[in-house]
Structure formats: C-alpha cells, structure tokens
Amino acid sequence: MGTTDDYSTGRVLENIRKALHVFDSMEGSLSNNEQAVRIHKKIQEFEPRILSVPEASVYIRKAAIIALGERVCQALHPGSVSTESVFLDELAEVMVRSGQARLASIEDAEQTLKKHSSRPLIISKVSGRYQEICASYPPDCVYWRAEKRGLHCLKHKNS
Ligand code: SF4
C-alpha cells in the first residue's frame, strides 16, 4: 500500500513511472501477464474510487488539514494538461512539509475541484485512509491506463 512516506520521498512517483513503463512496453491485454498482475495488486491497494464534487466535499469538510498541489504524476509528463489535487490530513501535512503542496481552506479546495470538474475525480487511500483527491487526467493516469489494459481497479464511490 502507498504510504505518506512514499509521497514525501517521491517513491510513489517512481512506482507510477515503472507501472506506466510496463504498460507502454507490452501490447494487448495485460490481465495474464505476471509483472502486470503484480502492478495491478499494488494499484488496487489504493482502493481508488471515482467520486463527484459533492462526495469529495464530504471528505474535505471532515479533514483537519487540507492542502492543494499539482497532481502527483504530472512531474512525469512535462507539458501535459495541468490539474491539481487535494491532500487531506497527514498526507496534506507531509506534502506541505516536502514543498509539494500549500495549505488551503475548505473553500479553496472545493473551488479547485469545481474548476477541474471536466476531469474525473479520484480518491485514493494513502497509509490506509482516503487522503488524496485527484482531478485526474486519463491519458496520463496509472488507474485509467490500467483499466484500458484490462486491469480493473476503478469503482464508483458507492459501488
Ligand atoms: S492522474 Fe491518476 S496517477 Fe496521476 S496523480 Fe491523479 S490519480 Fe494519481
């Protein structure tokens, strides 16, 4: 499972990079490929869920600390569409401390998600709790890319 430490050290980015490399270097469905199955298992540990802005607001309003920053995988795709993520609680704290995000109010976080409302919102578990809400960009996103290759991982929040 991804931990807050993985985010502060950049390990999560390295893991995304490796997964995308495997997706890029193989053709067709990956559901029977051993390496891809291992990646699939790791991705599923984040229990990613697609959610609406009002559903995201519920998490934001319950958080003790909120931060905003560039979506984590954007560093791997220079020149890609720019979107932001909302980080909550312990993850918000480590992202601010490592200079990857800035503290934000509830209103700022909600406005940011509304601004990116054409992008599917995904919430991920980090260190066992839902702490990252990303305005995802499917062509770059490890979850959407996995789905496209037969490695299903995305569910809707209430499913
Ligand atoms: S676009 Fe997908 S892989 Fe990239 S940071 Fe957002 S949820 Fe993670």
Predicted confidence pLDDT, tens digits, the chain (159 residues): 699 999 999 999 999 999 999 999 988 778 788 889 999 999 999 999 999 999 999 999 999 999 999 999 999 999 999 999 999 999 999 999 999 999 999 999 999 999 998 999 999 999 999 999 999 999 999 999 999 998 999 998 776
pLDDT value for 1: 63
What's the CA-to-centroid distance between 51 and ligand 1, angstroms? 14
Judging by beta carbons within 10 Å of its beta carbon (0-12, 13-18, 19+), is residue 24 exposed, middle or buried? Answer: exposed
124 CA: nearest ligand 1 atom = 7
Q: What is the DSSP letter of 2?
A: -
Nearest to 129 by CA among 155, 94, 90: 90
What's the CA-to-centroid distance between 107 and ligand 1, angstroms? 22
With a Cβ cut-off of 6 Å, ligand 1 is lined by: 16, 71-73, 122, 134, 136-137, 140-143
pLDDT value for 32: 81
pLDDT value for 159: 64
- Do the beta carbons of residue 95 and residue 101 sit within 8 Å? yes
Rounded-to-integer distance, Cα 38 and Cα 30, Å: 11
- Rounded to the nearest 10 degrees, the angle between the axes of helix 106-115 and helix 53-62 is 160
Q: Around Cβ 136, how many Cβ atoms within 10 Å?
A: 24
Which residue's CA is minimally distant from atom 3 of ligand 1? 141
Substitution site in 14, 21, 86, 140 for ligand 1 pocket (most atoms within 8 Å of beta carbon): 140
Which residue's CA is minimally distant from atom 2 of ligand 1? 141
Rounded-to-integer distance, Cα 56 and Cα 72, Å: 18
Rounded-to-integer distance, Cα 132 and Cα 138, Å: 16
